[in-house]
Chains A and B, each alone.
Chain A
């Protein structure tokens, strides 16, 4: 492919940074602000695009692990088990596209949450909640790492290393 996406973003960013930005000196404040945020967003995409597929598969793995633990804790969870089966098929398919991987992970997120909310046994419910909270540390940590180019992290070096 000649028109690879990385280069397309690179040339667009260069034009915006080197040519358009200097010409905005007299523009209204909100125009300049939106311009710089658009640049930041494009830089984020440029930096993350090569890792997008790996990130989606890593998230799916984390959701699958939480789902399997939740099924074990609940004893019986037919809807979540169905979602796990479907996700395993996607995970094993090297040709699965990123949207399909994301969709499988989202279904797992829904079913894990539904299971924890619908369980009537207080002891099992507490165990499921604990699993969610414990798994949350790593999953949220990776999401923070993924979003860190937006610049909101006070100590980005303290975030967990990318696991994708």
Chain B
């Protein structure tokens, strides 16, 4: 036997019983917190789907959460919806309070980030909160204030972090290029690429053994391939729980990813979604002001971030239509060389290939599998957007198949 495959029907995906949930958990072991998140997702399928939350209800929940944490009443003012992202609800608001030490009155502009009932990326608010804590002062990112990881105060699990300034796109038309990735234009890309590479190098060099937090992250060991197995199994489990129909190519790839999982040579904080479009910048200064979307972070192999940033989906061709620019910055070859120089960590071609397959597998699973199920179960606040993203899926699957066949040839 080379696999551990079992057929489960649509009825069990739609309304899974405990035996089905337990069987899937046993087949695809993952980190404890990821297990908790995915198991909660399956239990929610017996519920009503996403129930739209009125802004007033969220304001009430924010107030209750912060009051409970600081120990005195606070005021939440000027709350309004904040757009951006396909997976989480966000509310911008002003918090009128007296700080953690209950002294001088102050006003802080903060963001509530709450998950809906189902999501294209099921993730843990505890982990998102903890990784943001871990990178404070090292990587520009929103300051995490409070987390309601189990949805005690808010309708669904949520966290509150600081509002960060910057823009995601240039204010001018950077010109027409071929490709899906964000085009910053030649001048801005040259100025941003230093931060793009330098911050990734800094992130991956953080000494994770010196971090006392990150309690909801399992800690892999150097020399073990456990981190890769966890990550692959997490995606395989999502595919098992969410797919509408089987895509046999994905099982072939899954078995290869398990059989070829490389051992870690260095434990890094892996952002998991490090790419163009996921950072804010100061256009005038040409500097990155904040990295966003840390929900997919893990402790693992830096090559996951490296190959993700260079995915064709996040790239475009340069103005001469000859060179594919990784995340709109530079060629993948130049990107890897610059990263190696900045970080002092080696870039291994074998691991690049492995995580190139992994990240293509990830995109296919999340689009064809998770997005399809989340919208089908009326699980989100924007099913029509999540459903739309399924349209990306077959291009991603074709890209995975082609890349995989090249990798194993």
Kindly state the separation between the CA atoms of A143 and B394 in the bound complex, as whole angstroms: 6
Residue on B nearest A117 in the bound complex, by CB: B3
**B60 CB within 8 Å of chain A:** no
**A41 CB within 8 Å of chain B:** yes
Residues in A whose Cβ lies below 8 Å from that of B2:
117-120, 122, 125
Residue of B180, B397, B405 touching A152 (CB-CB under 8 A): B180
**B387 CB within 8 Å of chain A:** yes
| Interface size, A (range) | 35 or more
Q: Which of B1, B3, B252, B390 has the most CB of A within 10 A?
A: B252
Residues in A whose Cβ lies below 8 Å from that of B404:
133
Residue of B178, B180, B247 touching A109 (CB-CB under 8 A): B247
Residues in A whose Cβ lies below 8 Å from that of B172:
none
**A16 CB within 8 Å of chain B:** no
Kindly state the separation between the CA atoms of A140 and B393 in the bound complex, as whole angstroms: 10
**B382 CB within 8 Å of chain A:** yes
The 8 A CB mask of B232-255 against A (1 = contact, 0 = none) is 000000000000011111011001
Residue on B nearest A121 in the bound complex, by CB: B2
Residue on B nearest A39 in the bound complex, by CB: B384
The reply to whether A137 and B401 contact each other, CB–CB distance below 8 Å, is: yes
The reply to whether B391 and A154 contact each other, CB–CB distance below 8 Å, is: no
A47 shortest CB reach to chain B, Å: 13
A99 shortest CB reach to chain B, Å: 12
Residues in A whose Cβ lies below 8 Å from that of B385:
33-34, 37
Known contacts A30-B81, A113-B5, A118-B3; A133 and B405 CB within 8 A of each other = yes
The reply to whether A136 and B401 contact each other, CB–CB distance below 8 Å, is: yes
Kindly state the separation between the CA atoms of A28 and B55 in the bound complex, as whole angstroms: 14
The reply to whether B391 and A133 contact each other, CB–CB distance below 8 Å, is: no
The reply to whether A151 and B251 contact each other, CB–CB distance below 8 Å, is: no
The reply to whether A40 and B388 contact each other, CB–CB distance below 8 Å, is: yes
Kindly state the separation between the CA atoms of A37 and B389 in the bound complex, as whole angstroms: 10
**B179 CB within 8 Å of chain A:** yes
Residues in A whose Cβ lies below 8 Å from that of B246:
106, 109-110, 112-113
The reply to whether A41 and B388 contact each other, CB–CB distance below 8 Å, is: yes
The reply to whether A151 and B391 contact each other, CB–CB distance below 8 Å, is: yes
Residues of A35-52 whose CB lies within 8 A of B: 37-38, 40-41
Kindly state the separation between the CA atoms of A123 and B52 in the bound complex, as whole angstroms: 53
Kindly state the separation between the CA atoms of A12 and B51 in the bound complex, as whole angstroms: 26
Q: Which of A37, A117, A120, A141 has the most CB of B within 10 A?
A: A117
The reply to whether B387 and A41 contact each other, CB–CB distance below 8 Å, is: yes
The reply to whether A112 and B178 contact each other, CB–CB distance below 8 Å, is: no
Residues of A49-68 whose CB lies within 8 A of B: 66
**B398 CB within 8 Å of chain A:** yes
**B395 CB within 8 Å of chain A:** yes
Kindly state the separation between the CA atoms of A152 and B3 in the bound complex, as whole angstroms: 34
**B392 CB within 8 Å of chain A:** yes
Kindly state the separation between the CA atoms of A6 and B195 in the bound complex, as whole angstroms: 52
Residues in A whose Cβ lies below 8 Å from that of B248:
66, 109, 112-113, 116, 132, 135-136
Residues in B whose Cβ lies below 8 Å from that of A116:
3, 248, 251-252
B367 shortest CB reach to chain A, Å: 10
The reply to whether B251 and A37 contact each other, CB–CB distance below 8 Å, is: no
**B349 CB within 8 Å of chain A:** no
The reply to whether B83 and A136 contact each other, CB–CB distance below 8 Å, is: no
**A153 CB within 8 Å of chain B:** yes
Residues of B367-405 whose CB lies within 8 A of A: 382, 384-385, 387-388, 390-395, 397-398, 401, 404-405
**B7 CB within 8 Å of chain A:** yes
**Assuming A116-B251, A132-B252, A137-B398, what are 12 further A-B pairs, CB within 8 angstroms?**
A30-B83, A37-B384, A109-B246, A112-B248, A113-B246, A117-B2, A117-B255, A129-B252, A144-B395, A147-B394, A154-B178, A154-B180
User: 30 pairs across A/B with beta carbons < 8 Å?
Assistant: A33-B385, A34-B382, A37-B384, A38-B384, A40-B388, A41-B384, A41-B387, A106-B246, A109-B245, A110-B7, A113-B5, A114-B7, A116-B3, A116-B248, A117-B2, A117-B4, A118-B2, A118-B3, A118-B5, A120-B1, A136-B248, A136-B397, A136-B401, A140-B398, A140-B401, A144-B395, A146-B394, A151-B391, A152-B392, A154-B178
Tell me the A residues contacting B by CB distance below 8 Å.
28-30, 33-34, 37-38, 40-41, 66, 105-106, 109-114, 116-120, 122, 125, 129, 132-133, 135-137, 140-141, 143-144, 146-147, 150-154
Tell me the B residues contacting A by CB distance below 8 Å.
1-7, 81, 83, 178-180, 245-249, 251-252, 255, 382, 384-385, 387-388, 390-395, 397-398, 401, 404-405
CB-based closest 9 A-B pairs: A150-B391, A117-B3, A117-B5, A109-B246, A143-B394, A144-B394, A132-B248, A113-B248, A136-B249
